[in-house]
Copies of this chain bind each other. A is one copy, B any other.
Amino acid sequence: MAEASGDNVIFVGKKAPMAYVLACITQFNDGKKEVVLRARGKSISRAVDVAEIVRNKFFNDAKVKDVKIGTEEMTNQQGEKVNVSTIEIVLAR
């Protein structure tokens, strides 16, 4: 996950997709060349939605530079260790 340099990373969670789309637009309008979308579990499909909306509706010159998938170990509310899938989508203009 080398492309993520900190402040250009957007963590996609349970809000409506447009909240994260707006965050992407703000980053690109601030002059960032790359925006990294990260999500885990069920939010993964929302991260893909966000990337596609940004690319198709707002920045037609934005490309999906890289998509990585992975697994993170988390502790659930019962104190058990569970594996959760992750995604990292790098959008670049």
Contacts and interface: CB of A to CB of B under 8 A. Distances in A.
Copies of the protein in its oligomer: 2
B89 A52 contact: no
Nearest to A89: B69
Interface stretch (A3-11, A19-27, A28-36, A43-51): A43-51
Contacts of A89: 69
Interface residues of A, number: 21
B70 A52 contact: yes
B64 A48 contact: no
Given A41-B45, A44-B44, A45-B45, A69 B52 contact: yes
A14 interface: no
Contacts of A67: 67-69
